[in-house]
A and B are shown apart, each in its own frame.
Chain A
Amino acid sequence: DAGITQSPRHKVTETGTPVTLRCHQTENHRYMYWYRQDPGHGLRLIHYSYGVKDTDKGEVSDGYSVSRSKTEDFLLTLESATSSQTSVYFCAISESVGAHSTEAFFGQGTRLTVV
Chain B
Amino acid sequence: DQQVKQNSPSLSVQEGRISILNCDYTNSMFDYFLWYKKYPAEGPTFLISISSIKDKNEDGRFTVFLNKSAKHLSLHIVPSQPGDSAVYFCAGGGGADGLTFGKGTHLIIQP
A interface bracket (residues with beta carbon within 8 Å of B) = 20 to 34
B27 CB to nearest chain A CB (Å): 13
B contact face: mostly helix, strand, loop, or mixed? loop
B31 touches A103 (CB 8 A): no
Which of B43, B46, B49, B91 interacts with A108 by CB under 8 Å?
A: B43
A contact face: mostly helix, strand, loop, or mixed? strand
Return the chain A residue nearest B47 by Cβ: A103
B101 touches A98 (CB 8 A): no
**Interface size, chain B (Cβ < 8 Å):** 27
A42 touches B102 (CB 8 A): yes
Which of B34, B36, B98, B104 interacts with A48 by CB under 8 Å?
A: B98
Which residues on B sit within 8 Å (CB–CB) of A56? Answer: 96-97
Judged by a CB distance under 8 angstroms, whether A58 is at the interface is yes
Of residues 81 through 108 on chain B, the ones whose CB sits less than 8 Å from some CB of chain A are 89, 91, 93-104
